[in-house]
Amino acid sequence: MIKDFVDILDFTAEQLAGLLKRALADKALFAAGKLPASLPRKTLAMIFEKPSLRTRVSFEAAMSQLGGHAIYLTGADIGLPTREPVQDIARVLGRMCDALATRTFSHPFVRQLAAHCPRPVVNALTDESHPCQAMADLMTVMERVGELGGRTLAFIGDGNNVARSLAAACTRLGMHFVLAAPAAHELKESFVASLPVGQGAGSYRAVRDPRQAVAGADVVYTDTWVSMGQEDQKAARLKAFAGFQVNAELIRAAPRQVMVMHCLPAYRGCEITEEVFEAHAQTILEEAANRLHFQRTLLNVLIGEGGVG
């Protein structure tokens, strides 16, 4: 059993596919009013150092729908990073609550929390990864196209936390991941080397030209060019990413039925145009809604069933 949900590559393809299948089934049960409130009197503690709309609300709503409760703590509330060591935070919250969800700058912080906490720890985004987002995204793709194996996702823009988790999830699940990013904003070679490619699995490819990336793609995906914590680099980043916008001209170079996805928040006029966003708003908003559906299942599995088996 895996106690925590920190990174996609901690899990096998079977485990990830099982979670996705279960999340889709639970979504249907929930819509029919038949999903049991299976976590009564359970508490999720949430430590958030960065802003959030979707992630905070989806975790809190999920706990409430399962009959449990969530406590939202900002980094300032608990005196991060100086008031007490991470292992004390982990051991105290692990004795008062049934799980932790954390959104921090530091990835090692989440790993340390997980190592010291007797209860499940869920990564709700770090500078390195955003695994819950990637799972909700692939759930959305499955709802549209069915089987994921052999499908191609083209990520246009920054090789950031969202791109890393998507590259991991796509390759693990037999998809082809193509990144079009400007120089110095690609995924690091050491990370690319860790991706499970070949041997009948998925593939990873980096190209410079976004048009080349979207040709033959089932999904075109983008995210902000300026992630949380990079605000001081904004001017240089807007310059570096010019030419990597998901706009109508780029979408014309993709197959006609292509899905356009965005994790949100979206910066219109930067990584995506208003026109493309609105033309694909139904998909993008269902993708956001699936954050709730995936995380509700994840909490059920981690808290209610002792981990991912």
Residues annotated as catalytic are 103, 130, 133, 223, 263, 291
* Site for ligand NVA contains 223 (CB under 6 A): yes
CA gap 188, 194 in Å, rounded: 10
Q: In the complex with ligand CP, which residue's Cβ is closer, 54 or 293?
A: 54
Residues 119, 98 contacting (CB under 8 angstroms): yes
Which of residues 129, 140, 152, 160 is near ligand NVA by CB under 6 A? 160
Candidates 53-61, 77-85, 188-196, 201-209; binding stretch for ligand CP (CB under 6 A): 53-61
Residues 162, 264 contacting (CB under 8 angstroms): no
Of residues 128 through 167, those in contact with ligand CP by CB under 6 A are 133
Which residues neighbour 253 within 8 Å (Cβ) at sequence distance 6 or greater?
Answer: 211, 214, 215
Helical (H) or strand (E) element with 48: strand 43-48
Which of residues 86, 162, 166, 250 is near ligand NVA by CB under 6 A? 162
Which residues neighbour 278 within 8 Å (Cβ) at sequence distance 6 or greater?
Answer: none
Q: What are phi and psi for residue 201, nearest 5 degrees? A: -85, -155
Of residues 278 through 297, those in contact with ligand NVA by CB under 6 A are none
* Site for ligand NVA contains 161 (CB under 6 A): yes
Size of interface with ligand CP, in residues (CB under 6 A)? 8
Point out which residues pair with 306 in neighbouring strands. none
Look up residue 101 and give its amino acid: A
280 closest CA partner among 213, 227, 215, 219? 219
* Site for ligand NVA contains 238 (CB under 6 A): no
53 binds, among ligand NVA, ligand CP, none (CB under 5 to 8 A by kind): ligand CP
Size of interface with ligand NVA, in residues (CB under 6 A)? 8
* Site for ligand CP contains 283 (CB under 6 A): no
Shortest Cβ distance from residue 288 to ligand NVA (Å)? 10
Which of residues 17, 47, 163, 263 is near ligand CP by CB under 6 A? 263
Helical (H) or strand (E) element with 123: strand 121-123
* Site for ligand NVA contains 104 (CB under 6 A): no
Going residue by residue from 248 to 277, which x/- string records binding to ligand NVA, judged by CB under 6 A? ---------------x--------------
CA gap 152, 184 in Å, rounded: 24
CA gap 238, 39 in Å, rounded: 45
Shortest Cβ distance from residue 14 to ligand NVA (Å)? 28
Q: What are phi and psi for residue 286, nearest 5 degrees? A: -70, -35
| Dihedral sign, Cα of residue 196, residue 266, residue 5, residue 126 | positive
Residues listed for the chain: 309
123 binds, among ligand CP, ligand NVA, none (CB under 5 to 8 A by kind): none
Shortest Cβ distance from residue 129 to ligand CP (Å)? 12
Residues 113, 91 contacting (CB under 8 angstroms): no
Helix (H, G, I), strand (E, B) or coil at 253: coil
Q: In the complex with ligand NVA, which residue's Cβ is closer, 141 or 162?
A: 162
* Site for ligand CP contains 259 (CB under 6 A): no
Q: Nearest-CB residue to ligand CP?
A: 55
Binding residues for ligand CP, rule: CB under 6 A, are 52-55, 125, 133, 263-264
Binding residues for ligand NVA, rule: CB under 6 A, are 160-162, 223-224, 227-228, 263
